[in-house]
């Protein structure tokens, strides 16, 4: 058996300098993933709040849930279209790795299409029948929970794909999607990290959304609730995330983990900065959840964007570190200024 089947790169040159494409992949990926985070957490939030409202027999939670479902169904459309950009970049820069890892879970990869169509349609039913099915809550919740379950599952397919592309030497022994879930390291740690980030981001979203809105309008009671509870959720989940982040770090190959823990100046700095900013964000969110001041929400927003940027950058560097030995042995067809490729 061949150790790692990495084919020669496509003979047509990569259409732009790789450095430029790397910047683009980080930016476009972040834009995409933030909307994915919104979609997942707002859907989960809607389902959670609606259930809570039924149990407590309190219409207030139902109203909050309705708002969340409305936002979720808009963000899911944007999340999908934004996803095309990073998919384009990763396909072009990492052709030799990404195509193989995709085809190895090909049927699961194609199932994403059906899964998301069903989830999105269910989300529309969930949103558009909110009033009409006030007395058929069971049926209504069914659509919400169905969409949520699918949205919780689909990230696993993406994670398997982008993790397995980092481990070409394990391709030969992988056997389809479900086997791959346990075949490659990092997968569940990444999933946990991602899901926590999603939920925190959803909380943060409502905090920011209504902080902005408050500057122009007087908020209604449900809205105030969403804003404060959003900050609260953001805070608590981020605290847990500090632990989950370390679990992820410890799932990396030791050589690579050490790069983040002193051996590489850039990566170590990024990691420390990200932790610092996260602590600052936690403090700001804690304050916001305790009292409805919201003065420092712009600062919270800035900190959040910083964290996001650092995370995206580190994530990219991680892939580069893993792939470096392979990239050296299997050179890519790089961009040339003239349009010839031979």
Partner 1 sequence: MNFPSIDFSWFGNGSVIALIAIIHVVISHGVAIGTIALMVTMEYRAHRTKNLALDALAKKIAKWVLIITTTMGAMTGVGIWFSTTVIQPDSIGALLRIFFWAWVAEWIVFITEVVLLILYYYTWDKWQDGRAKARHIKLGIVLAFASWMTMAIITGVLAAKLTPGLWVETHAFWNAFINPTYLPSLGFRMFLAILLAIALLSFFIRWRVKDVALRQEVFHVFGLWGAISLPAVFVLGLWYLWSIPTDAYDMIVWSTGMPENVFKTLNGIAFAILIIYLIWMIVKPKAVPWILSLIVMGSSVAFIGEFEVVRESIRKPFIIYDYMYANGLLEENREKYDEEGFLKHATWAKEREITEDNVVDAGREVFIGQCITCHTVDGWRSKRSLTNRMDGWTEDDMTSFIPTMHNVRVAMPPFMGTDEELEALAAYLSTEINGKRTNKKEVSQQ
Cβ distance to partner 1 smaller for residue 110 or 266: 110
- Minimum CB separation of residue 10 from partner 1 in Å reads 5
Q: Least distance in Å: CB of 296 to partner 1?
A: 30
- Listed in sequence order, the residues at least 6 apart from 287 whose beta carbon sits closer than 8 Å to its beta carbon are 293, 296
| Residue 14 CB, nearest approach to partner 1 (Å) | 7
For the purposes of burial, counting CB atoms within 10 Å of the CB of 60, is it exposed (0-12), middle (13-18) or buried (19 or more)? middle
Name the minimum Å distance from CB 106 to partner 1: 4
- For partner 1, the closer CB: 24 or 219: 24
* Closer residue to partner 1, CB minimum distance, 13 or 309: 13
CB of 228 to partner 1, least distance (A): 26
Q: Can you read off the two tokens belonging to residue 194?
A: 């991602």
HEC string of 27-86 equals HHHHHHHHHHHHHHHHHHHHHHHHHHHHHHCCHHHHHHHHHHHHHHHHHHHHHHHHHHHH
Residues contributing to the site for partner 1 (CB under 8 A)? 2, 5-8, 10-16, 74, 76-78, 80-85, 87-88, 91-92, 95, 99-100, 102-104, 106-107, 109-110, 112-113, 116-117, 120-121, 124, 171, 339-341
**Least distance CB 312 / partner 1 (angstroms):** 18
CA–CA distance, 195 with 177 (Å, rounded to integer): 20
Q: Residue 120 or residue 313: which is nearer to partner 1 going by CB? A: 120
Among 333, 312, 330, 332, residue whose Cα is nearest residue 168: 330
Angle, alpha carbons 315-316-317 (nearest 5°)? 95
Q: What is the DSSP letter of 259?
A: I
Smaller CB separation from partner 1, 232 or 335? 335
R_g over Cα of the chain: 22
Handedness of CA 270, 304, 289, 152 (dihedral sign): negative
Nearer to partner 1 by Cβ, of 103 and 242: the residue is 103
């Amino acid at each position: 058996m061949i150790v790692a089947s990495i084919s020669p790169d496509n003979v047509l040159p990569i259409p732009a300098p790789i450095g430029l494409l790397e910047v683009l992949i980080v930016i476009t990926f972040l834009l995409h993933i933030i909307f994915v985070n919104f979609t997942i957490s707002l859907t989960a939030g809607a389902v959670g709040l609606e259930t809570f409202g039924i149990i407590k027999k309190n219409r207030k939670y139902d109203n909050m849930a309705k708002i969340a479902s409305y936002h979720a169904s808009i963000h899911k459309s944007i999340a999908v279209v934004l996803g095309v950009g990073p998919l384009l970049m990763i396909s072009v820069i990492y052709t030799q790795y990404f195509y193989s890892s995709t085809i190895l879970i090909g049927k699961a990869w194609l199932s994403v299409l059906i899964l998301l169509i069903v989830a999105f349609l269910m989300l529309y039913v969930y949103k558009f029948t909110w009033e009409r099915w006030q007395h058929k809550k069971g049926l209504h919740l069914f659509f919400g929970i169905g969409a949520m379950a699918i949205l919780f599952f689909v990230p696993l397919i993406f994670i398997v794909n982008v993790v397995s592309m980092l481990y070409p030497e394990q391709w030969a022994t992988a056997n389809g999607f479900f086997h791959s879930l346990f075949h490659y390291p990092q997968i569940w740690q990444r999933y946990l990290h991602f899901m926590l980030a999603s939920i925190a981001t959803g909380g943060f979203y409502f905090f920011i959304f209504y902080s902005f809105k408050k500057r122009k309008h007087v908020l209604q009671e449900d809205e105030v609730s969403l804003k404060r509870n959003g900050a609260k959720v953001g805070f608590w989940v981020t605290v847990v995330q500090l632990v989950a982040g370390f679990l992820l770090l410890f799932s990396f190959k030791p050589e690579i983990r050490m790069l983040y823990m002193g051996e590489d100046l850039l990566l170590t700095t990024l990691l420390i900065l990200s932790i610092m900013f996260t602590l600052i964000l936690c403090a700001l969110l804690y304050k916001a959840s305790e009292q409805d001041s919201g003065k420092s929400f712009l600062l919270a927003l800035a900190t959040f964007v910083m964290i996001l940027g650092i995370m995206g950058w580190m994530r990219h560097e991680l892939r580069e570190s893993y792939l470096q030995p392979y990239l050296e042995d299997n050179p890519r067809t790089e961009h040339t200024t003239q349009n010839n490729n031979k």
